[in-house]
Structure 1
Amino acid sequence: MMQRSALRAKRKPWLMEQLDMCSTRALSILALIVLYALIITFIDSLTYSGKIALFAFLSAMTLWVATKIPAGLVATGILVFVILMKASTPELLYASLSEEVVWLMIGSFMIGEAVKRSGLAERFSRMVLRSGRSVLSRFTSILLLSAFFIPSTSGRAALSMPMMKQIRFSFSQKENEALAIMAPVIILMSTSAALIGAGSHVIGVGLLETAVGETISFVQWLVWSVPFTVTITFLSFYMMKWRLWPKKEAHEEKISIEETGSEPLSEKEKKTAWLVGIIVAAWMTESLHGYELGFTTIVGALLFMLPRYGVMTWKQGVQSVSWNLILFVAAAAALGTLLVTSGVVEWLDREIMGILGVFTQMPEWLIVIVILLVTTTSHLYITSHTTRAIVFIPSLILFGQAIDGDVSSIVFLSLIGMNYCVTFPVSSKALLLFYEEGDLSYEAKDLLKMSLYLLPLYIAVMLLFYFTYWSWTGLSI
């Protein structure tokens, strides 16, 4: 009895300490949200809907990073708050499930399950895991090369998912948590490799042609982008490995498994390989057939579930979908759309471009730094990659003309800068795909911490390339 009483006496201070810590954190978060409300109230240039949308967005970001409340609950709750405040209609909530990214992810989960059930994912993962070079280095190289063939970060993330689900069995839980951040970040860092690496590239170059009659050819883009992309991708890889990978559990260099590559493909594996090839071809030729990525992904998923001809049943496909993640993505995408429709993005664009006007008489190095700071941080308030290009490129073209600069160089630098979107899960569809995804998931605060290292690194490498390699090859504002 005396021992139990002593134990209770020891536990009570610890328990009280934990409660005090929780109370302090909750009060801090509440104070920050109240501060958002007070500041936004005095922004006269925003409409009522815009103020509510901006407040909702900032509050959601804070809750995602600072609390353990399920991300889907936060996103859906914020949407409901916006509707209750009459800043939007209930259609905002209903239409959230009609976003292309939602159906892209549903199809991606189904295709990933088919690849797994066919045995192809296990075969491919064994090839990657064979002894030799670092598993992580090889995996990074594969993700980097995929940017030249698959014109979508979402598509590359979807293809990498089944392989990662097999690789994860060779790593510890902490290593898998690191891998869940490393994979999508590598995919995003390698986006700049090719002109088809992101839709925003094509849109930006198209706006350049329309505005001033200039362009950036496919080959010219490769000349400028490939050395930079390879450099930033592997620097990011080593930075993440240094900061995220558990030091005491770093055994990935020693992984060795039995040889299985010589075994012939089974009928299921052959069928799956053909279907995946067709889906990738459909993704690559979107501009020819006109069907969006989400639609072609769903068509591919259905082919895998056809009775007698598919590799899995409809029930198995539906059960493979992470509906928790789907609801979060739908609500988060709707929140991003609200920022555009309520005028918040237009207001931000106007304010930022007004600030840029001050720098028209500044030295070249300062102008470059300002452009990079604006574009690399644009993902913090405009979650859609495509929307960032549509909003910022026309204004940056006008800015380039105002300083009598090389507009093509400014557009290229801006598009490369906008490719950095590694701060919050909603900053990219590739990040969303891995967020809260079962055994391969990460926490928003860990991604934010990693961004504090990667953002300065990204800007520093861009500056280094601008004043060396890019200047030597004719890129100069």
Structure 2
Amino acid sequence: MSEVHASADKNGKEPSSEKKSKVEETMKKIGIPLAILVALLLFFMPTPEGLGVEAQRALAIFTGALILWITTPIPIYLTSIIAILLLPLVGAVKDQGVAFGTLGFDVIWLMVAAFILTSAMVKSNMGRRLSLWMITKFGKTPKRTLFLLVVINFILAFFVPSTTARATLMVPICLILLEVYKAIPGKSRLGKTMMLQGVQADALATSGVMTATSGNIIAVGFINEQAGGHIGYMDWLLASMPTAIITMTITFFIGLKLFSVNSETGINNVRDTLKEELDKLGRFSLAEKKALAIFIFTVLLWATGDYHQGWFGFEISTEQTAVLGALLCLLPRVGMMTWKEANIKWELMIFAAGAYAVGNALDKSGGAEWIIGKVVDALGLEHMNHALVYICVIFLSMYSHLIFTSKTVRVTILIPAFIALAKTLGIDPVPLALAAAMTMTYTITLPPHSKVNTIYFGTGYFSVWDQVKYAIVTCFIGASVISLAVFTWFKVIGI
């Protein structure tokens, strides 16, 4: 791994380095006063017709929190704590359980379990071994290697529920490959395509698997809580994975044409070097065997959810399966890690709890419906064909990452809003919100739009303009494929 880090140093910036733009710095400075001012104005203004007092207060808290989440003058989890505290304090909710009870949502437990499973995968070295083995076994040409790296990204999405963790795993392997290929950062077409398709594959694979990122899990929570849906692991997989595969397949070949990839060098030396990296891992360790067994068991339970009642006489939910898998990872003798070794991102858990609290307060008080009603009136959406509404929402959601750089913040803002819009227009909110949620991981246009982008961009193999060109095409194709799926594939699978 020292070779990889050396390569990163030679290329310039470390993959994890991030610089804040002047706009971001300005937003940080004005965030707190702006949030307080807007929240107070909404709180004390005369109550508009059709809006209740509770809804008005919930709207004030939601808007203030939203400004803080976007401008980030303080960590997002602190904003959530403030919001949870204020909701019952100012009378935005009558029952404080609406605010404080969100940390006990089953979706929060699903996130905890996902972090534990990720930690087990990283600690056991199972993900790195799988990636290296597949490349040395099947990567016989540069183009085939590119395709294989995409396949590995999609496979890892099932086992490593973190976009950043998968990028951290894949980039060193890509750097080893390109170093052996003697690829020069900024000049190599192979290097440019490999890194850009790494960004694309990470994002699209994440779209296809519900547990591949916390944003998907949060979106499912909103869909099931506010839209009355029953979306589980297999429902998401059946709905989203085909669109992700189709989009990735189309954009894979576009990338080869766009950057004119050819065979720049032979593959034999590359395979020898990667074989050495694989050999360094030694024989399968007991921890790897345990991790593999637990992950296979967990995925099988997720995949067979519809048959549990007939087999066992009871159903094991998506959340229960995830918690069971996490428990097995932590059990003495059975698992391979301790609680202290589990990298659980508690700040994200608190953020999610606050997001659910303000979102549900706005929904239950009728505030969300009132806002959407005003938007519908202003834009004339009530006269728009429902099919056109679907398409507008999907494309709006797809390109919303140009404004909001956080997937979780976008989910928190947009999914409840789209659910309220659907209810107002008399559209089934579940497919509309699900289709919108499937676009949330396409944060691929510019390096600052996600940590994954920054990690890959830090290698120096592609420029900002390279990424913009490729991403515009990918996002358009992705939105188009999802739009078609809503009117065709969704009906086939009963959504």
Report the TM-score when normalising by structure 1.
0.59
Do the aligned partners of 2:415 and 2:436 also contact (CA within 8 Å) in 1?
Answer: no
CA–CA distance in 2 between the matches of 1:298 and 1:141? 27
Report what 1:82 is aligned to. Answer: 87
Is structure 2 residue 412 aligned with structure 1 residue 383?
yes
Q: Deviations over 1:329-366 (max 9, x none)?
A: 33233333323223233334544566432235xxxxxx
2: distance between equivalents of 1:381 and 1:301? 28
- The alignment status of 1:120 with 2:120, answered yes or no, reads no
C-alpha deviation, 1:272, in angstroms? 1.9
Question: What does residue 289 of structure 2 align with?
Answer: 270
Alpha-carbon displacement from aligned partner over 1:99-153 (angstroms, at most 9, x marks no partner)? 2232222222222222233331331242366575577764543454688xxxxxx
| Pair 1:460–1:164, CA change in 2 (3 A) | closer
Tell whether the 8 Å contact from 1:389 to 1:415 is kept in structure 2 after alignment. Answer: no
| 8 A Cα contact 1:236 1:454, kept in partner | no
Do the aligned partners of 1:118 and 1:272 also contact (CA within 8 Å) in 2?
yes
1:308 is paired with a residue whose SS is coil
Q: Are positions 1:54 and 2:43 aligned together?
A: no
Contact 1:108/1:158 (CA < 8 Å) preserved in 2?
yes
Cα distance change of structure 1 residues 171 and 382 upon mapping to structure 2, 3 Å threshold: closer
What do residues 436-468 of structure 1 show as CA deviations (whole Å, max 9, x unaligned)? 9xx99x9xxxxxxx99x9799746764589799
How big is the alpha-carbon RMSD for the aligned residues of Structure 1 and Structure 2?
5.7
| Structure 1 counterpart of 2:331, from 295, 306, 310 | 306
Structure 1 unaligned residues grouped into runs of 5+: 1-17, 148-154, 209-217, 242-253, 361-366, 401-409, 425-433, 443-449
> For each residue in 1:412-444, what CA deviation from the matched residue of structure 2 results, as whole angstroms up to 9, or x when unmatched?
7775345323599xxxxxxxxx989xx99x9xx
Post-superposition CA distance 1:171-230 (Å, at most 9, x none): 89xx9x9999867632454469xxxx9997xx99xx99xxxxxxxxx9xx98x9887544
Aligned 8 A contact 2:111 2:349 in 1: yes
Aligned partner (choices 97, 103, 108) of residue 102 of structure 1: 108
- CA distance in structure 2 between the partners assigned to 1:358 and 1:313 by the alignment: 57
Structure 1 CA distance for aligned equivalents of residues 53 and 198 of structure 2? 39
The AA in structure 2 aligned to 1:295 is Q
Q: Is residue 2:378 matched to residue 1:336?
A: no
Instruction: Decide whether the 8 Å contact of 2:419 with 2:432 is kept in 1.
Output: no
CA drift of 1:278 comes to 0.5
**Equivalent position of 1:158 in the other structure:** 161
2:37 to 30, 34, 39: 34
C-alpha separation between the residues in 2 aligned to 1:23 and 1:459?
Answer: 31
Unpaired runs of 5+ residues, structure 2, are 1-20, 176-191, 211-215, 229-233, 257-269, 309-314, 401-408, 444-449, 459-466
Distance 1:62 1:384, change over 3 A: closer
**Distance change >3 Å, CA 466–CA 384, structure 1 → 2:** closer
Q: Is the 8 A contact 2:329 2:336 kept in 1?
A: yes
The aligned runs of 1:73-472 (5 Å cut-off) are 73-88=78-93, 89-127=95-133, 133=142, 138-144=148-154, 158=161, 163-169=166-172, 185-190=203-208, 229-233=244-248, 257-259=274-276, 264-289=283-308, 290-317=315-342, 320-351=343-374, 355-359=380-384, 368-377=387-396, 383=412, 398=426, 415-422=434-441, 458=475, 462=479
Question: In the TM superposition, what is the alpha-carbon distance from 1:267 to its structure 2 partner?
Answer: 3.2
Output the CA distance in 2 between the equivalents of 1:352 and 1:234. 37
Q: 1:407 — aligned with what? A: none
AA of the residue aligned to 1:307: P
Structure 1 pair 180–59 and aligned structure 2 pair: CA distance change class (3 A):
farther
Shift of 1:260: 6.0
* Contact 2:113–2:325 (CA under 8 A) maintained in structure 1: yes
TM-score by length of 2: 0.57
Alignment correspondent of 1:14: none
* Kept in 1: contact 2:243–2:481 (CA 8 A): no
Q: In 2, Cα distance between the equivalents of 1:43 and 1:103? A: 38
Q: 2:207–2:241: 8 Å Cα contact kept in structure 1?
A: no
Residue 110 of structure 1 aligns to a residue whose secondary structure is helix
